[in-house]
Structure 1
Amino acid sequence: MAFYLDDTQRKTLVRLSASWTWRTEWPTWALIVTIYGSWFGVAYHARSLGLPLTTALLALLSTWYMSLQHELLHGHPTRSRFFNGLLGFAPLAVWFPYGIYRDLHLRHHDDVHLTRPEHDPESYFVSAEVWQRAGTATRILLRFRNTFVGRLLAGPAFAIAATASDAVRKVGRGDWRDVPLWLAHGASVGALAWWLQTVCAIPAWLFVLGVGYTALSLSSIRSFQEHRAAEAVEHRTVLNETGTFWRLLFLNNNYHAVHHDLPHVPWFALRNVYETSRQQYVERSGGFLVSGYSEWVRRYAFASVAHPVYGDLSGSVQSNPRASGIFAGKSWVKFMIVVRRGELREADLPATAERQTAGQAL
């Protein structure tokens, strides 16, 4: 369901949707041709390019392809779910059937339950029950996953394991509906791996690990703290003002709060929608604003962005330093602050106090 900032924005988007660019979605069609042509072109010339460069280029193109799959499942460039599924069926990124990814991601768009591990399939939190059952090694890995480096290295493995275990549990419950998707995906991965190895001299293992796993890792750059746990639903999704390269690679999905409000808006229009109403979106997100992915690297390369347990504050208050400067003296931010063990207290703090310790703020 779309959320418009005001009636003016709604009317503007209705008018834009009638434009030739939006009706034909020619930028998305051009993107499809570019990604497929580049991917198979690079693979075919692997012998002359060499395996290291070929692997790097295919991983980058597979990451771009995953961004395209995200666009396809949201109804672009056609309104046909079946036809878009055909466009996104090829296993260029190896690991997940398009249909499985589509269904899980659309569940993720239930914003009321965003970040809640029992409802959001893309949450990087776990429930207190899961944490209690986890052994020491698993807890270390979960903490590591919530660092930037850990998300890139271990995040894909967690995603693969979670998706596979979910598929097995479904079959165990007698739910075989996804089995044809997995069988078709497995067959297509096998066929593509055979072609790459016999025609292009790219080993199957390199395709699966060097291309597929690396593509998932690169995609994890975008999704790192893409959402945070917050009381207000609209404060849970980030606005990331990154550079041109990353905007193109992720198809403007860095303006993620805009995408969640307006999932029907095509990728090529998201930046303009955001910049037209930037101040309103920053306010709506509760100041959840990031100045590019390098900011996450600087702050969270080896530091955990949040405790793995959903709702666990671990005695600290997370803040957004950049947002503090923007809204100083203009807004109030509500935090849950640990007063003493086992007790939580709400406090309304001025934005200038966001970076104070809990003790100072109280």
Structure 2
Amino acid sequence: MSLYLDDAQRQEIQRMRASMRWRSEWPTWLLIAGVYGGWFGVALNAQALGMPLALGALALLSCWYMSLQHELLHGHPTRSPLVNALFGIAPLAVWFPYAVYRESHLRHHDDDHLTDPARDPESYFVSPERWASAGPTMRLLLALRNTLVGRVLLGPAFSIAGALRGVAVAVARGDVRVAASWALHLVLLAALVYWLEHRCGIRWFAFMFGVGYPALALGAVRSFHEHRAVADAPQRTVINEAGWFWRLLFLNNNYHAVHHDLPGVPWFALGTVYHRRREAYAERTGRFVVQGYGEWLKRFALAMVAPVVHPFAGHKVPAARVTRIRDTFARPTANDASNRLAG
């Protein structure tokens, strides 16, 4: 569902939708060619490039591919989920089947329950019950995961473990669709690993842990504190005014509040939509606006960005406590009092 700031914005986006750029989606087609061409081009020339450089380039391209998968599942560049899936099922980023990611991510777009660990599959909060049952080591790891360094280093391991746990539960309850998605993914992954080893000289462990894991780590930079736990749903999602490199790598998903309001807007139009209404979006998000990922690095490299336990998931919260939580998660930065960041 699209949530417009007002009727004027709705009409403006309808005009943009009628443009040849939007109707043809040629930037997304060019992106598909660039991602696949770059990935396989690097793989085929891995020996000539040298393995460290090749693995680094493949990790970067695999992260870009995950951004492309995100675009595909949101209905671009075609209206056909099947056609889009054909461009997203290749296991270039190793760890997750496209179909499983698609289903999970679309559930994440239920903004009324955003960040609630019981409802939001992409929440980095945990329930009070999970915290209470965790041992000292797990509590430490969960706390470290809420720092930027910890999210990059440990976040992929948590995601992989969660995916494996999820498929085990799905198979145990007889979920044929999930089992079929994983079966297809594993067959394609085996074929890709065989090709990489015998044609490109890239061993399976180098691909999985020298490409797949670093790609997830790069993606964790984007997802670090994309959402905060506050009472007002529109104020839960960040606007990150990142530099051009990160915008291209993440396909403008740094303008995350705009994406959640307007999930049908293609990646190449998100920046335009945001900058035409920059102040309005700042107001809508409760000034949850960040001046690039370096802001998170300076503040939260080794400091927790948020509590591990969700402040009020699944509970009716007294108004006074909601105000305290909102204020805690909306302190102004030292260098820009107009931008409030979650503390």
State the TM-score, normalizing by the size of structure 1. 0.89
Aligned equivalents of 1:305 and 1:326: distance in 2? 19
Matched, 1:51 2:37: no
Find the partner of 2:338 among 286, 306, 326.
326
Aligned equivalents of 1:320 and 1:101: distance in 2? 33
Q: Is the 8 A contact 1:229 1:236 kept in 2?
A: yes
Give the aligned residue type for 2:102.
Answer: R
Equivalent positions of 1:197-216 (< 5 A) are: 197-216=197-216
Higher CA-based Rg: 1
Equivalent positions of 1:127-146 (< 5 A) are: 127-146=127-146
Equivalent positions of 1:318-357 (< 5 A) are: 318-322=329-333, 325-326=337-338
Aligned equivalents of 1:51 and 1:324: distance in 2? 43
Unmatched runs of 5 consecutive residues or more in structure 1 = 328-350, 358-362
Give the aligned residue type for 2:203.
Answer: P
Residue of structure 2 equivalent to 1:180: 180
Q: Is the 8 A contact 1:288 1:320 kept in 2?
A: no
Q: CA deviation at 1:234?
A: 0.3
Residue of structure 2 equivalent to 1:117: 117
Aligned equivalents of 1:318 and 1:8: distance in 2? 31
Closer, same or farther in 2 for the Cα pair 1:173/1:12, shift >3 Å? Answer: same
Matched, 1:317 2:341: no
Aligned equivalents of 1:112 and 1:214: distance in 2? 32
**CA deviation profile, 1:49-82 (whole Å, cap 9, x unmatched):** 0000000000000000000000000000000000
Aligned equivalents of 2:328 and 2:257: distance in 1? 22
Residue of structure 2 equivalent to 1:342: none
Q: CA deviation at 1:202?
A: 0.7
Percent pairwise identity:
56
**CA deviation profile, 1:101-131 (whole Å, cap 9, x unmatched):** 0000000000000000000000000100011
Deviation >6 Å, runs of 4+: 312-316
Aligned equivalents of 2:150 and 2:232: distance in 1? 28
Aligned equivalents of 1:99 and 1:30: distance in 2? 23
Q: Is the 8 A contact 1:2 1:261 kept in 2?
A: yes
Unmatched runs of 5 consecutive residues or more in structure 2 = 313-320
Aligned equivalents of 1:202 and 1:153: distance in 2? 23
Aligned equivalents of 1:176 and 1:259: distance in 2? 31
Give the aligned residue type for 2:171.
Answer: V
Give the aligned residue type for 1:154.
Answer: L
Matched, 1:289 2:289: yes
Residue of structure 1 equivalent to 2:316: none
Give the total of aligned pairs. Answer: 331
Give the aligned residue type for 1:74.
Answer: H
**CA deviation profile, 1:190-244 (whole Å, cap 9, x unmatched):** 1101111111001110000110000000000000000000100000000000100
Segment of structure 1 superposing worse, 291-300 or 316-325: 316-325
Q: Is the 8 A contact 2:228 2:329 kept in 1?
A: no
State the TM-score, normalizing by the size of structure 2. 0.93
Q: Which structure carries more relative contact order (alpha carbon 8 Å, separation 6+)?
A: 2
Aligned equivalents of 1:175 and 1:186: distance in 2? 17
Aligned equivalents of 1:73 and 1:134: distance in 2? 34
Residue of structure 1 equivalent to 2:28: 28
Q: Is the 8 A contact 1:287 1:324 kept in 2?
A: no
